[in-house]
Amino acid sequence: MSLTETAASPAETTVPQIGHWIDGAHRASSSGRTAPVYNPATGAVRAEVALADQAEIDEAIASAERGYREWSGYSIAKRQGVLFAFRELLNARKGELAAIITAEHGKVLSDAMGEILRGQEVVELATGFPHLIKGAFSENASTGIDVYSLKQPLGVVGIISPFNFPAMVPMWFFPVAIAAGNAVVLKPSEKDPTAALWLAELWKEAGLPDGVFTVLQGDKLAVDGLLTSPVVQSISFVGSTPIAQYIYETASKHGKRVQALGGAKNHMLVLPDADLDLVADQAVNAGYGAAGERCMAISVVLAVEPVADELIAKITERIGQLKIGNGAGVDAGDGTRSEPDMGPLITDVHRDKVASYVDIAEADGATVVVDGRGCSVEGHEDGFFFGPTLLDNVPTTSRAYTEEIFGPVLSVVRVASYDEGLELINSGRFGNGTAIFTNDGGAARRFQNEVEVGMIGINVPIPVPVAYHSFGGWKASLFGDSKAYGVQGFDFFTREKAITSRWLDPATHGGINLGFPQNH
């Protein structure tokens, strides 16, 4: 992906400018508004991203509407061919995308690659879309009358994606939307906007008509432009709960379909019979992977006594083995790169916010077992690093327990029983993901039936469903009636027409009857 550079005086340093993707091409912004894009590992500004004005918002939506008119007329076979071409290009060049994600988000390269592969699962699901947009047919439902249904695209659809998964989250939505015949306007996070443009270039190369995949860079003005436009028919969003609620209420008020996935406070319930080595491994993986910046991270371990002390010791031992550093890795001297386990947080502001929650927990009486505050990486002293943090005896009244931290902070809460742990999970305002670790099949089965959460893992800490199931939580973790991808995704991006058809026999057309139609 090439960035457009603006002219600078000899005394100035040229800063690459990241613009939009409109009508199948890069489009420089004339709004005069920009935001910095950092390399989180170094703290340096690597580019500036445009923040769209109203004219650019209108232009992007109008382009998408033109693209929809063309694309929705493509045959299923032609649409499927473009999907397959995109899939093959993505598979061949995913390393390029992973490098972009690491440079702007900070996550380690292997984690960036994992994100892409999970998104690619949805692309692969979408290549089989003909089966998922079929209608139904009932012959002779009434004498001489057939009834059948069609699934047709909505039109122009909006996607508003978060910073933590700049490739995977958009891929939860746009392959399904495009396969179904819609045109997409993607508003990526202004913190890591380049992945969206790389994906746009790939769609162009795959043969997608201009306008069908549009990237609109921006801030709240761009978001509100999508939410209120009479052309945009639906909104798909992933982010924090307050913003998800705002998205849902505003878009719904303007007559749109909405799937708005919000925040989380995911718990892992550990029963006394669990394999504590497995639990410790998975708690570290789920708590500190991607530096905790994921809505499916485990942030609370509910330890049913008497296992807490032993489990904390095992987790602490594993934390001591973690390497923190630049997600791009360092040259190992033998032609390979040595990759750390965990990279930086996205910005210094977010790092300080995460640190504030550790301060709150400590002030509320929690024990800081492992302290990630003040983490520094040699050679990257200006990077936005925060070390893995482990808290014990976190009061359930503390904001450090009740609120989403979105960082590498794992809290241990000691409970006396399964029932006490279950009650804590079910009384929370979020219902995104949860897990139970046990060797008791009866306890696991009871848990999956009794817990009030949308996605459940049994000895699996991050239960993100595969692409042919759907992703989404309960309660304050999901606003709207539809989850992401899977069959629900295709239902969301299509609308149904029911047709009642009769081809008359001229000799017996039945005459006049003003009564209510009846089936015979």
Active-site residue numbers?
Answer: 295
- Strand pairing category for 478-480 and 257-261: antiparallel
- What is the Cα–Cα distance from 412 to 489, expressed in whole angstroms? 36
Tokens found for residue 454: 């949308």
Helix (H, G, I), strand (E, B) or coil at 508: helix
- Strand pairing category for 266-270 and 298-304: parallel
Q: Which H/E stretch holds residue 198? A: helix 194-206
Non-local CB neighbours of 315 within 8 Å, separated by 6+ positions: 280, 283, 284, 301, 390, 410
Which amino acid makes up residue 19? G
Within a 10 A sphere around the Cβ of 231, how many other Cβ atoms?
Answer: 16
Tokens found for residue 513: 């009857």
Q: Which residue, chain included where needed, has tokens 């878009």? A: 251
Handedness of CA 283, 289, 291, 294 (dihedral sign): negative
Non-local CB neighbours of 183 within 8 Å, separated by 6+ positions: 64, 65, 67, 68, 71, 155, 156, 157, 211, 212, 213, 214
Beta bridge partners of 302: 269, 413
Do 82 and 208 contact (CB within 8 A), yes or no?
A: yes
Handedness of CA 242, 435, 296, 358 (dihedral sign): positive
Do 218 and 190 contact (CB within 8 A), yes or no?
A: yes
- What is the Cα–Cα distance from 43 to 20, expressed in whole angstroms? 24
Burial class, 489, CB count within 10 angstroms (exposed 0-12 / middle 13-18 / buried 19+)? buried
Count the residues in the chain: 520
Helix (H, G, I), strand (E, B) or coil at 210: coil
Q: What is the DSSP string of 82-106?
A: HHHHHHHHHHHHHHHHHHHHHHHH-
- What is the Cα–Cα distance from 188 to 59, expressed in whole angstroms? 17
Q: Which residue, chain included where needed, has tokens 């987790």? A: 315
